[in-house]
A and B are shown apart, each in its own frame.
Chain A
Amino acid sequence: MNATPPMTTATSAPAAATASGHLETIDTSRAGVPMSRLIAVELRKLVNTRAGLWLVLAIGLVSLLIMTAMLIWADDSDLVFGNIFGLMNIPTGFLLPVLAILLVTSEWGQRTGLVTFTLEPRRSRVVVAKLATALVAAVGAMLTAMAFGALGNLLAGLFHDDPAGTWEMTLAGMSNSVMLQLFALLMGFAFGMLIRNSAAAIVLYFVIPTIWSILAQVIPWVHDHLQKWADFSFAQQPFQSGEWATGQEWAHLATSGTIWLVLPLVIGIWRLLRSEVK
């Protein structure tokens, strides 16, 4: 500040330090910060920086873009609701985990954790609020995809020939795609919790599973014995369809999900609860 503005003195200020005269104690019976307010603040954090706002907007814009592109260039047979919605889920599947990662890592990278965890020292509640916020964002993104998918399908039905505009979408297909979105989001969240650095978490989130998949393809023993059970993206492939997965496929999803999602999440939370907030 070069030019010093006229200072408001404390005595003339409206609500300056209205501490009353008696010796103060801490009121331990006061209501704590309710979860609803923590979630409201976390939702605000998603959009109150330019980067965050654009990330959220991007999810909507990309869906709109895909809808338009499909309406212009796709074959009539592809212009069915299941397809349009499914295609929109691909970019969302990349963006949502990034959003979840940033929601966690910005507390460390920008050091806002100092404020966040002094206003709510029960750190597990902050984690729950962030997780809830990420889920709200995911539901929002999927509803957006659904809305644009429906709109696109409606327009396809009007301007294209059959079977364009068909509403066919299996329950299995819908629940599979919702589930995969949630897994991607949760894994991003877990990586953010574990790594705490925005750039590193984003890069490792995308790179490590890819490297692991490549290794699993190349090394015969890993391919034969490990990949099915320990490769999360491999285990998710059967769920990228309109069919219900088999019990075996669910088992693969469970074991690989434990390794790639549950384990980093648990370690990340455990570290957060014990460590220093810098």
Chain B
Amino acid sequence: MITVERLTKTYGGFRAVDDVSFTCQPGAVTGFLGPNGAGKTTTMRVIAGLTPATSGQATIAGTHYRDIPNPGTQVGVLLDASAQHAGRTGREVLTMGALTMGLPRQRVDEMLELVSLSRSESKRRVRNYSLGMRQRLGIAHALLGDPRILILDEPANGLDPAGIHWMRGLLRDYANRGGTVLLSSHLLHEVEVIADELIVIGQGRIVAQGTKGELLQRAGTFVKADDLAALGAALAAAGITDAAPSGDAGLRTEAGPREVGRAAAAAGVALLELRTADGAGLEEMFLQLTADTQRDDLTDGAAA
């Protein structure tokens, strides 16, 4: 179990991670979703003890990462698949890991086979690997010590659709055996495919978390009218106060379509569209986040 408690990390005046709390349960794949620069990587780096927290803390089963003996055999970490010496072969990277952790050499071959890196590919230098091959190597390295907890930053990045499908099977199986998985992604559909639990982060703050079902099925109504101001007033008059601008020049509210329709009819506002928002809420929220952070990315990449 991974526990992040009130974690804040600032760089100068910039809050890369802002009061973030969440837990990752054993037996589930937790997806950490957010646009680039939202603070995902920073959070994971704090969990893995590479970045000191400004305040708050991250623990794994109650232990700080730095206090875990031979951590490679207990927590598998993949933070950046490209962070490998370009001049080493893939096999050598795994061999060094196995040597550090004190594992038999045959473990290297097992892991290569697991991630479908062929014998000849494993003897090529990492410089000549595609991003997808680097990801496979990184996943092999994370699994090398047979850990019970996995922390993977953007593991699906660079994998082709078949590769993503493969990884879903791998992590699903891993979680089903009681493993804990935290993986990040900036692509909603990737996380939707792989994760059970979702944590959505934007600009350093958690904006939503829950099971995939909860977040995707969050009820609500999308409503659109020519005169949005009049529609807003009509909803407010009917006691629906949470209506907020959404996506395609409409409004979104947690109220049901029936109430919204009645309120509009009572005020004589002509509607262009009235429907259940379904899972679109998550997608819209995510698009909104992405749009908001796009500007920040240009000025500050530190949170990537």
**CB-based contact B80/A5 at 8 Å:** no
In the complex, what's the smallest C-beta–C-beta distance from A233 to chain B, in angstroms? 32
How many of chain B's residues have a CB under 8 angstroms from any CB in A? 74
Among A10-18, A135-143, A249-257, which stretch is in contact with chain B?
A10-18
**CB-based contact A26/B61 at 8 Å:** yes
**CB-based contact A114/B180 at 8 Å:** no
Which of chain A's residues have a CB closer than 8 A to the CB of B177?
A: 17-21
**CB-based contact A118/B79 at 8 Å:** yes
Among B141-149, B182-190, B280-288, which stretch is in contact with chain A?
B141-149
Which of chain A's residues have a CB closer than 8 A to the CB of B179?
A: 17, 19, 24
Which of chain B's residues have a CB closer than 8 A to the CB of A119?
A: 71-72, 97, 100-101
In the complex, what's the smallest C-beta–C-beta distance from A140 to chain B, in angstroms? 19
Interface residue? B114 (CB, 8 A):
yes
Closest to A16 in B: B114
Q: In A8-44, which residues have CB < 8 Å from any B CB?
A: 8-11, 13-34, 37-38, 40-41, 44
**CB-based contact A5/B118 at 8 Å:** yes
**CB-based contact B166/A9 at 8 Å:** yes
* CA distance in complex: A83, B201 (Å): 67
* CA distance in complex: A4, B87 (Å): 24
**CB-based contact B116/A23 at 8 Å:** no
**CB-based contact A11/B85 at 8 Å:** no
* CA distance in complex: A22, B165 (Å): 26
Interface residue? A1 (CB, 8 A):
yes
Which of chain A's residues have a CB closer than 8 A to the CB of B114?
A: 8, 10, 13-16
Interface residue? A117 (CB, 8 A):
yes
**CB-based contact A111/B50 at 8 Å:** no
Interface residue? B206 (CB, 8 A):
no
In the complex, what's the smallest C-beta–C-beta distance from A201 to chain B, in angstroms? 17
Interface residue? A68 (CB, 8 A):
no
Interface residue? B77 (CB, 8 A):
yes
**CB-based contact B83/A13 at 8 Å:** no
* CA distance in complex: A110, B74 (Å): 25
In the complex, what's the smallest C-beta–C-beta distance from B164 to chain A, in angstroms? 11
Interface residue? B66 (CB, 8 A):
yes
**CB-based contact A111/B82 at 8 Å:** yes
| Inter-chain CB contacts under 8 Å: number | 185
With A10-B169, A24-B149 as known contacts, state yes or no: A114 contacts B178, CB within 8 Å.
no
* CA distance in complex: A118, B165 (Å): 28
Interface residue? B84 (CB, 8 A):
yes
Interface residue? B272 (CB, 8 A):
no
Which of chain B's residues have a CB closer than 8 A to the CB of A120?
A: 71, 100
Which of chain B's residues have a CB closer than 8 A to the CB of A113?
A: 83
**CB-based contact B50/A8 at 8 Å:** no
**CB-based contact A1/B160 at 8 Å:** yes
**CB-based contact B92/A4 at 8 Å:** no
Closest to A123 in B: B66
Closest to B181 in A: A17
Contact with A along B98-133 (1 / 0, CB 8 A): 011110000100110111101000000000001011
Taking a contact as CB atoms closer than 8 A, the residue among B65, B73, B115 that contacts A121 in the complex is B65
Closest to A34 in B: B102
* CA distance in complex: A22, B1 (Å): 12
Interface residue? A50 (CB, 8 A):
yes
**CB-based contact B162/A7 at 8 Å:** yes
Interface residue? B237 (CB, 8 A):
no
Interface residue? A51 (CB, 8 A):
yes
* CA distance in complex: A44, B94 (Å): 12
Taking a contact as CB atoms closer than 8 A, the residue among A4, A6, A14, A49 that contacts B160 in the complex is A4
Interface residue? B35 (CB, 8 A):
no
Closest to A17 in B: B174
Which of chain A's residues have a CB closer than 8 A to the CB of B65?
A: 118, 121
**CB-based contact B83/A23 at 8 Å:** no
In the complex, what's the smallest C-beta–C-beta distance from A104 to chain B, in angstroms? 13
**CB-based contact A17/B173 at 8 Å:** yes
With A38-B100, A121-B49 as known contacts, state yes or no: A111 contacts B80, CB within 8 Å.
yes
**CB-based contact B178/A23 at 8 Å:** yes
Interface residue? B193 (CB, 8 A):
no
Which of chain A's residues have a CB closer than 8 A to the CB of B67?
A: 28
* CA distance in complex: A272, B53 (Å): 16
In the complex, what's the smallest C-beta–C-beta distance from B97 to chain A, in angstroms? 7
| B interface residue numbers (CB < 8 A to A) | 1, 26-27, 45, 48-52, 60-63, 65-75, 77, 79-80, 82-88, 92-93, 95-97, 99-102, 107, 110-111, 113-116, 118, 130, 132-133, 141, 143, 146-149, 160, 162-163, 165-166, 169-170, 172-174, 177-180
A-B contact pairs, 7 of them (CB 8 A): A8-B114, A17-B170, A20-B177, A24-B26, A110-B83, A114-B79, A277-B51
Which 10 pairs between the two chains have the least Cβ-Cβ distance? Answer: A17-B174, A49-B87, A111-B83, A24-B148, A19-B179, A10-B173, A10-B170, A121-B66, A7-B166, A32-B69
Q: A8-B113, A26-B68 are in contact. List 10 more A-B contacts (CB 8 A).
A: A7-B166, A16-B173, A30-B73, A37-B100, A41-B100, A44-B95, A48-B88, A110-B83, A115-B141, A120-B100
